[in-house]
Amino acid sequence: MFDRIGIFGKYSGDQCWENIKTLVDFLISKSRTVYLDKASCANFPEHDNAPLIEREQLKKQIDLAIMVGGDGTFLDVARSIANENVPMMGINLGRLGFLTDISPEDMLVIIDEVLSGVYRKEKRNLLNVKIMQYDEQIFESLALNDVVIHKTASPLMIEFETFVDGRFLNSQRSDGMIISTPTGSTAYALSAGGPILDPSLDAISLVSINPHTMSTRPYVISGESVIELRAHESCKKTAQIICDGQITYDISAHHHTFVSRNEKYLTLIHPKNHDHFELLRAKLHWGDKLF
């Protein structure tokens, strides 16, 4: 039973306010307690019955998170709440919607079913990334889609070594590499030629970005593995670690980056008829007539 529900909005505009108001009014009519995320809903015009609460406090008070926006907003919220074991569902106001799979037109019907206990539940892996400088940890973040080592504005390739569970995998010169969860396999990793991984798999894919040699191919490893990235000594703030395309940290040769599966999973709430294969067909246009 979901009794205390947090609403998260899209930071960049007012296009989600009407949907949020409809959602708040509906949930209150169902005798639910509703809170608004202060970080993303600060400018929401009407919230007398749904107080604004700081996210750090909010995520500890709710038993369901509903995000109204696109996949980018979903990623931001997911990283915030994943370690609190709060299930999450997304209302899609974006363009693609691999993560936000509920349309505004259908949201009230589907949410009514969810509140009645009719839904599908799915667990998704996240990545935990830590950057060490000598023996000191200087950065930590989560990623639902991917962790990327990427060159900065320099036109030069970067050179780095990859280790898996302490064993040397390879050394490469490239524009970078994408370390992806199954969830992120349909995002940046797919654009770089990586494989599509079913979300149920406990796996991590390593996909190089424009490698210098054609023999550098995508590689899939166990989700229990720990990946270490070591930048070459020539790397002097010409590379970054990027989490979900949203959080960045500049690295140099004396930084070691460790990426592993996060201890806790993100729980997604889907409509009862959710079918991941159908979603792939729709979003990737599989089966469309060529002529």
Continuous H helices in the chain? 17-29, 38-41, 55-58, 71-81, 107-115, 188-191, 276-284
Task: Give helix 107-115 / helix 17-29 axis angle, nearest 10°.
Answer: 30
DSSP helix/strand/coil, 175: coil
d(CA 70, CA 252): 33
d(CA 135, CA 40): 36
**Active-site hit among 14, 63, 71, 175:** 71
Amino acid (1-letter code) at residue 249: Y
14 as an active site residue: the answer is no
DSSP helix/strand/coil, 109: helix
What single-letter DSSP state applies at residue 165? Answer: T
d(CA 208, CA 218): 7
d(CA 147, CA 141): 10
Residue 278, token pair as written in the block: 């159908």
Amino acid (1-letter code) at residue 153: A
Of how many residues is the chain composed?
A: 291
Catalytic residues: 71
